[in-house]
Amino acid sequence: MKINSYAKVNLNLKVFPKDNSGYHKIESLITKVENLYDTLIIEKNSLAQDVIECNIEQLTKSNFIFDVLNILRKNNIITEFFTIRLEKKIPIGSGLGGGTSNAIALAKYLIGDCKISQTIWNEIALKVGYDSYYFISGFDVAIVKGYGEIVEKTESNIKIFKEDLIFTNINCETKAVYEQFDKVGYNQEINYLTKAAVTLYPELEQYTKEGIMSGSGSTFIKKKIS
């Protein structure tokens, strides 16, 4: 089976101080990138282990896909093992949610019409990231709040294409950017993580004049679009 897994962008991102849970609440307008996606080819195997083949070598060993497969097996939703051929076009560490999108697209395909509890989705989100809830929703454009678990559909005609984006080829580590945010705060209202990302990755500074950063970086949305 062949499925596509789409990128997302944050058109804005408000981040609140870390609370007692150790996480930050956020508020963000998120939309799908219409023509930027990874492709997953899914086949059962008889190896008694999951295998990922990918054009980016590091993703064959460390990948949210493994976490999703393990959670689904643990909860008796699947019993088989799989070989996943993953063709990456969404840059890693780009703030476009590629790894999360891959994992949730696979989960939704394997679950199919089976009804699963919110508890299992929460378990997946805890492993894969709170962007999960946006991808689970299936909405193209949504306002996301809380820790990411509140997803409200918005009737918007916003369409973003990869031609609207600036790819910097810088791999931003989400956890590190949030930790830096706790230290330096923010200095602009559209994406609160911009100052933290630029502090950690100074080469991003040049792009702040051309666009608005998506998520924790490193992709920017051209200002004439955003």
Q: pLDDT of 49-70, one tens digit each?
A: 999 999 999 999 999 999 999 9
Domains and CATH numbers, the chain: 2-153 (3.30.230.10), 162-222 (no CATH)
**Which pLDDT does position 225 carry in this prediction?**
53
Q: pLDDT of 200-211, one tens digit each?
A: 999 999 999 999
Is 50 noted as a catalytic residue in this protein? no
How far apart CA 17 and CA 217 sit, in angstroms, is: 19
Annotated catalytic residue, options 14, 32, 38, 131: 131
How far apart CA 192 and CA 190 sit, in angstroms, is: 6
How far apart CA 69 and CA 54 sit, in angstroms, is: 17
Is 88 noted as a catalytic residue in this protein? no
Number of Cβ within a 10 Å radius of residue 157: 6
Tokens of 135: 């991808």
CA distances from 80 to 45, 49, 83, 102, 187 (A): 8, 9, 10, 19, 49
**Which pLDDT does position 7 carry in this prediction?**
99
**Which pLDDT does position 80 carry in this prediction?**
97
pLDDT tens-place values along the chain, 226 residues long = 999 999 999 999 999 999 999 999 999 999 999 999 999 999 999 999 999 999 999 999 999 999 999 999 999 999 999 999 999 999 999 999 999 999 999 999 999 988 899 999 999 999 999 999 999 999 999 999 999 999 999 989 899 999 999 999 999 999 999 999 999 999 888 999 999 999 999 999 999 999 999 999 999 999 865 4
Compute the CA torsion angle 46, 52, 54, 57 (nearest 10 deg): -120
Annotated catalytic residue, options 8, 14, 32, 195: 8
* pTM: predicted TM-score of the whole model, two decimal places: 0.94
